[in-house]
Chain A
């Protein structure tokens, strides 16, 4: 078993890769997590498979989405999707509707893998140097641009230079990317980062690779190009985008002949369209308002797991929640499973009052789950002298959040808390929940803002945003949470270069967040997409990407 042929990697392995492989062989990581992490280090699936096989561990196959049935050749897939809210400018775009359209023809270096992991896309593999400050990407050969020419390292370098001015300014400077040869790009980072490939993946939607001469600000409908499975044929931001098959797609000729994204601002119309048979699939919808699809026998609904969550914040610095016992009482007073079942019909996983979702490969599953304990919650409140605490909860009118708040309100009534809901429009909400932070004014916390309320956090490939913005710096730190111990753990996590090294600080982060409870995190919710029963092979990320290269009709 120790005789594994490392030559299969096709390149010398760095410290990070070697470490991963040895820890897998020593059973330090699970098979699934090994595959996931290996892929984001840029090891090829074949190589990873050979190691798994050598360890006698290859039971189930890959869990590709898409349902059974032979996919036929041809046909037009009509997809109900959100109307693009910004121009089809890959660098400047800022909303899901635009991501969907643009990422159908342009592609990333790193694509979506299992869970929060990455998989090869335009880069076949990638690897860091020993300290994670220089990353080398092997660019796929023989990839053709829709408007002629072949993808080369020069295109990637030019794209990274364009991104270095805005999107990636924190990571690289102009000129940081260099072409080693026609198919190898080396990127020197401002600071070591063991998770840099996430910045060139679906998790950073603007990092799509464009041709070298694709000037910043160019829109795709003016220059119809890309490397993806479909070519943009026509685009009308009011009505729809039409794509035709790219016969020369590097991943094999797509099955579908045409793809139409039919735009609507309104999720109800999109759902009606699917049910009336005028759309075959829907890019993204929520449980709330989505019951017409959830209860429909002609439609398959798929969940994409992720780290999106709702966060109930409590001001730890002043007001009713300064005593940790009060915050723990709130956390003990809610019934997470009931929240998930009623509000989201079970589409998600319950949370444990920290932002580390189980999809992260360094997630510490050994931590004990906090469950409802009304008696303990009551006695904690009594000890803190806050029996019959009356507070107002600030709630944005966003998807299921008002219903979540209503249910929490009635659950907390059982521990003697009297919660008044203040449900406000999202605009007003985001104006006041956590006022713009003044960074000179430590300790952390928003300048003003509300004491108690619920806010949403979207899906990220790494938890850094949650850990830094909500728990550390003041920008979104509505709990005004200050913990040197926690910040030290975050620093250790960020300094770590391997998953193995990340595990200890993450376990620490999970423990501190769970004990201090600046935020109650009731659940991580799934992103939902749906398609008709006669469709198969769709892959969605929940971030707006809708990959249709192997999709098609089964009958």
Chain B
């Protein structure tokens, strides 16, 4: 995962709407032509379908354990069974739901608040910007996983706490990027002319500037999504995930990793592979989006 430098600024003269649409269409065409994007999308899609219809896809119920303990992968149980005889394949499929509910929610919320904050900081400037910048900086100093653990310890182990903490810690990162982009935009002619037309600040910020900084925002969203998946999986590995018997991937790895040594590798390998494949797919998408956006 790469945290791109914060200086992605979309330089622009005064773009008119149709030009922008055209540029967007062109970018989209370029992105679609990248194999990494297509592969990433395909993997992601598989997990999304699993998350939406786990019980339809899974051959067994993820909590049904009377199928024989610790069976190695077979035709009936492609990923084997765990120590209580639950089908690992079905649990991996069902486990997609937890992470795909929490991680995107955290990423979207983080980006949403980040965009609002960044726009305000970049456009209003002045004291607000100075104070907010300082707060943003100190938030950046907070290690996400550590603060996640701290929050779960003091506030309880619910999905909302995890979403809230991850979103709160992503907000300043996004805000910083958006602020930089807005700073470059606000000096451009189209903003000045909108001001002269007497448009309201809100209108200028969200109708004029926002469409022009969508590039970095989209990049942020995809990159943050990758981080969110990674962070949520790590938190649940560390015991701050949804409680059992939820088939959450991180908890599955953490419950089972010591069993690798007794030869039951499938109990850890498949949920771990699921985490890795999801992070890789999101990062492949993020990477493609980022390179196309930066090139344009």
A-side residues, CB < 8 A to B, are 267-269, 271-272, 275-276, 288-289, 291-292, 295-296, 342-343, 397, 402-403, 406-407, 410, 421, 423-425, 427-428
Does B296 count as interface, using CB distance less than 8 angstroms? no
Q: A289-B255, A425-B157, A428-B157 are in contact. Are A397 and B84 (CB under 8 A)?
A: no
Does B245 count as interface, using CB distance less than 8 angstroms? yes
Known: A423-B246, A424-B243, A428-B156. 16 other contacts (CB 8 A): A271-B258, A272-B258, A291-B83, A342-B66, A403-B84, A406-B63, A406-B245, A407-B65, A410-B64, A410-B66, A421-B245, A423-B244, A425-B156, A425-B157, A427-B156, A427-B157
Does B70 count as interface, using CB distance less than 8 angstroms? yes
Does B259 count as interface, using CB distance less than 8 angstroms? yes
Q: How far is B244's CA from A423's CA once the two chains are assembled, in angstroms?
A: 6
Q: How far is B257's CA from A401's CA once the two chains are assembled, in angstroms?
A: 20
Specify which chain A residues have a CB less than 8 angstroms from the CB of B157 in the assembled complex: 424-425, 427-428
Interchain residue pairs with CB less than 8 A apart (13): A267-B258, A268-B254, A291-B264, A292-B258, A292-B259, A296-B262, A342-B85, A402-B243, A402-B245, A423-B244, A424-B243, A425-B157, A428-B157
B-side residues, CB < 8 A to A, are 63-66, 69-70, 83-85, 156-157, 243-246, 254-255, 257-259, 261-262, 264
CB of A264 to closest CB in B, whole Å: 11
Specify which chain A residues have a CB less than 8 angstroms from the CB of B69 in the assembled complex: 342
Q: Are A295 and B262 touching (Cβ within 8 A)?
A: yes
Q: Are B245 and A272 touching (Cβ within 8 A)?
A: no
Q: Are B262 and A423 touching (Cβ within 8 A)?
A: no
Chain B residue nearest in CB terms to A293: B262
Q: How far is B78's CA from A416's CA once the two chains are assembled, in angstroms?
A: 32
Q: How far is B260's CA from A272's CA once the two chains are assembled, in angstroms?
A: 10
Of the candidates A267, A275, A288, the one whose C-beta lies within 8 Å of that of B261 is A275
Q: How far is B259's CA from A288's CA once the two chains are assembled, in angstroms?
A: 11
Specify which chain B residues have a CB less than 8 angstroms from the CB of A292 in the assembled complex: 258-259, 261-262
Q: Are A397 and B244 touching (Cβ within 8 A)?
A: yes
Q: How far is B63's CA from A92's CA once the two chains are assembled, in angstroms?
A: 42
Specify which chain B residues have a CB less than 8 angstroms from the CB of A269 in the assembled complex: 258
Q: Are B243 and A425 touching (Cβ within 8 A)?
A: yes
Q: How far is B69's CA from A295's CA once the two chains are assembled, in angstroms?
A: 13
Specify which chain B residues have a CB less than 8 angstroms from the CB of A268 in the assembled complex: 254, 257-258
Q: Are B258 and A402 touching (Cβ within 8 A)?
A: no
CB of B285 to closest CB in A, whole Å: 33
Secondary structure dominating the interface of A: helix
Q: How far is B66's CA from A501's CA once the two chains are assembled, in angstroms?
A: 46
Specify which chain A residues have a CB less than 8 angstroms from the CB of B258 in the assembled complex: 267-269, 271-272, 289, 292
Chain A residue nearest in CB terms to B258: A268
CB of B94 to closest CB in A, whole Å: 14
Specify which chain B residues have a CB less than 8 angstroms from the CB of A275 in the assembled complex: 261-262
Specify which chain A residues have a CB less than 8 angstroms from the CB of B246 in the assembled complex: 423
Q: Are B245 and A343 touching (Cβ within 8 A)?
A: no
Q: Are B261 and A272 touching (Cβ within 8 A)?
A: yes
Q: How far is B70's CA from A402's CA once the two chains are assembled, in angstroms?
A: 18
Specify which chain B residues have a CB less than 8 angstroms from the CB of A296 in the assembled complex: 262
> Shortest 5 CB-CB distances between A and B: which pairs?
A268-B258, A292-B262, A397-B243, A425-B157, A402-B244
Q: How far is B267's CA from A292's CA once the two chains are assembled, in angstroms?
A: 13
Q: How far is B158's CA from A427's CA once the two chains are assembled, in angstroms?
A: 12
Q: Are B261 and A343 touching (Cβ within 8 A)?
A: no
CB of B50 to closest CB in A, whole Å: 22
CB of B89 to closest CB in A, whole Å: 18
Chain A residue nearest in CB terms to B240: A425
Specify which chain B residues have a CB less than 8 angstroms from the CB of A423 in the assembled complex: 243-246
Among B65, B69, B257, the most chain A Cβ lie within 10 Å of the Cβ of B65
CB of A395 to closest CB in B, whole Å: 9
Q: Are A291 and B243 touching (Cβ within 8 A)?
A: no
Q: How far is B246's CA from A267's CA once the two chains are assembled, in angstroms?
A: 21
Q: A291-B70, A428-B156 are in contact. Are A403 and B262 (CB under 8 A)?
A: no
Q: How far is B63's CA from A407's CA once the two chains are assembled, in angstroms?
A: 9
Chain A residue nearest in CB terms to B246: A423
Q: Are A342 and B84 touching (Cβ within 8 A)?
A: yes
Q: How far is B275's CA from A67's CA once the two chains are assembled, in angstroms?
A: 44
Q: How far is B261's CA from A424's CA once the two chains are assembled, in angstroms?
A: 29
Specify which chain B residues have a CB less than 8 angstroms from the CB of A343 in the assembled complex: 84
Q: How far is B69's CA from A269's CA once the two chains are assembled, in angstroms?
A: 23
Q: How far is B260's CA from A269's CA once the two chains are assembled, in angstroms?
A: 12
Specify which chain B residues have a CB less than 8 angstroms from the CB of A406 in the assembled complex: 63, 65, 84, 245
CB of B66 to closest CB in A, whole Å: 7
Specify which chain A residues have a CB less than 8 angstroms from the CB of B254 in the assembled complex: 268
Specify which chain A residues have a CB less than 8 angstroms from the CB of B156 in the assembled complex: 425, 427-428
Chain B residue nearest in CB terms to A275: B261
Q: How far is B257's CA from A275's CA once the two chains are assembled, in angstroms?
A: 13
Q: How far is B32's CA from A269's CA once the two chains are assembled, in angstroms?
A: 45
Specify which chain B residues have a CB less than 8 angstroms from the CB of A407 in the assembled complex: 65, 84
Among A296, A397, A421, the most chain B Cβ lie within 10 Å of the Cβ of A397
Q: How far is B157's CA from A520's CA once the two chains are assembled, in angstroms?
A: 29
Specify which chain A residues have a CB less than 8 angstroms from the CB of B70 in the assembled complex: 291
Q: How far is B84's CA from A268's CA once the two chains are assembled, in angstroms?
A: 17
Q: How far is B261's CA from A272's CA once the two chains are assembled, in angstroms?
A: 7
Q: How far is B254's CA from A421's CA once the two chains are assembled, in angstroms?
A: 22
Specify which chain B residues have a CB less than 8 angstroms from the CB of A267 in the assembled complex: 258
Chain A residue nearest in CB terms to B243: A397
Specify which chain B residues have a CB less than 8 angstroms from the CB of A397 in the assembled complex: 243-244
CB of B247 to closest CB in A, whole Å: 12
Q: How far is B65's CA from A292's CA once the two chains are assembled, in angstroms?
A: 19
Chain B residue nearest in CB terms to A431: B156
